[in-house]
């Protein structure tokens, strides 16, 4: 990542943190509803891992537990905190619009982080052998499964040394399968349903592989649970036909 993009990211995160801190000080004085509606309720709970983190091939238990406990659960906790603060911010008529905008940005960012991390972890625990309707669909969309995999890997490596996600998406509007590049948790194609997500933030591999991102991607592919991906794909197709 360049110095410019790093400075931009720090500035953006700083704005979100400032918004949260500012609303904290105003929350006590703002009128609070007896019960909060769902849009302002922070009751998300971490989703347990569906596999034994000590039995993955090439991804250590220490790495997976750190990723799940610190990065994923950190986003769950922050999302809950931000959503409860939005109600107080909305009631504070004197708050500058930028304050509310900072909270809404952080809400979007943390929502994306929670969703993508859950898709990432749910996609692990398999034997890496692709099968089912998703294999045929990828072959039809990309010419062959091998071509899809090569493009997915290339997209992942384009983020190595920086941050972001590589996401296999079914688009309900266009009816197509695509691999998308995402610089952060907020990049996603409109009408796109994520089927498989590869976390390319350094926290997802640096503990095991340092800067050797390609080896991490190799290990990740060996552990993909394609049955889960196939189930997501069939649900996406069904929803698009409804």
Residue 26 has pLDDT above 50, yes or no: no
CA 97 to CA 34: how far, in whole Å?
25
CA 235 to CA 215: how far, in whole Å?
32
Q: Is residue 185 part of a domain?
A: yes
**Residue 195 and residue 159 share a domain:** yes
Q: Which two tokens stand for residue 12?
A: 């953006």
Q: Is 68 helix (H, G, I), strand (E, B) or coil?
A: helix
Which one of 82, 99, 122 terminates a domain?
122
What is the secondary structure of 115-150 as a DSSP string? Answer: HHHHHHHHTBSS-S---SHHHHHHHHHHSSHHHHHH
Residue 36: per-residue pLDDT = 79
pLDDT tens across 179-190, in order? 999 999 999 999
Residue 24 has pLDDT above 80, yes or no: no
Residue 35: per-residue pLDDT = 74
**Residue 160 and residue 102 share a domain:** no
Which one of 72, 91, 122 terminates a domain?
122
Task: Please report, to the nearest 10 degrees, the dihedral formed by the alpha carbons of residues 141, 235, 201, 125 taken in order.
Answer: -100
pLDDT tens across 211-241, in order? 999 999 999 999 999 999 999 999 999 887 6
Residue 34: per-residue pLDDT = 54
**Residue 79 and residue 112 share a domain:** yes
pLDDT tens across 165-214, in order? 999 999 999 999 999 999 999 999 999 999 999 999 999 999 999 999 99
Residue 17 has pLDDT above 90, yes or no: no
pLDDT tens across 138-148, in order? 999 999 999 99
Q: Is residue 118 part of a domain?
A: yes
Domain that holds residue 18: 3-29+59-122
Tally of domains within the chain:
2
**Residue 185 and residue 111 share a domain:** no
pLDDT-based confidence at residue 242 (cuts at 50, 70, 90): low
**Residue 140 and residue 101 share a domain:** no
Q: Is residue 38 part of a domain?
A: no
Strand partners, 199: 165
**Residue 205 and residue 182 share a domain:** yes
pLDDT-based confidence at residue 106 (cuts at 50, 70, 90): very high
Domain of residue 157, CATH code: 3.55.40.20
pLDDT-based confidence at residue 33 (cuts at 50, 70, 90): very low
**Residue 138 and residue 114 share a domain:** no
Cα angle 228, 232, 237 (rounded to 5 degrees) comes to: 145
**Residue 222 and residue 147 share a domain:** yes
**Residue 230 and residue 166 share a domain:** yes
């Amino acid at each position: 990542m360049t110095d410019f993009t790093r400075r931009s990211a720090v500035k953006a995160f700083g704005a979100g943190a400032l918004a949260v801190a500012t609303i904290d000080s105003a929350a006590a004085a703002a009128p609070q509803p007896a019960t909060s509606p769902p849009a302002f309720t922070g009751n998300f709970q971490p989703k347990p891992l569906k596999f034994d983190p000590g039995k993955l091939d090439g991804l250590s238990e220490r790495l997976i537990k750190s990723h799940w406990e610190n990065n994923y659960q950190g986003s769950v906790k922050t999302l809950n905190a931000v959503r409860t603060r939005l109600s107080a911010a909305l009631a504070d008529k004197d708050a500058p619009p930028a304050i509310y905008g900072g909270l809404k940005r952080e809400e979007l960012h943390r929502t994306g982080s929670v969703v993508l991390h859950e898709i990432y972890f749910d996609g692990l625990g398999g034997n890496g052998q692709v099968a089912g309707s998703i294999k045929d669909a990828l072959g039809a969309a990309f010419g062959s499964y091998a071509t899809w995999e090569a493009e997915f890997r290339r997209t992942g490596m384009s983020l190595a040394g920086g941050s972001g996600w590589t996401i296999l998406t079914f688009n309900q509007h266009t009816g197509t399968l695509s691999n998308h590049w995402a610089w952060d948790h907020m990049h996603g194609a409109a009408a796109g349903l994520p089927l498989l997500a590869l976390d390319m933030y350094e926290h997802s591999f640096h503990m095991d592989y340092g800067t050797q991102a390609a080896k991490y991607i190799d290990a990740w592919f060996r552990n993909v649970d394609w049955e889960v991906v196939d189930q997501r794909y069939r649900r996406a197709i069904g929803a698009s036909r409804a």
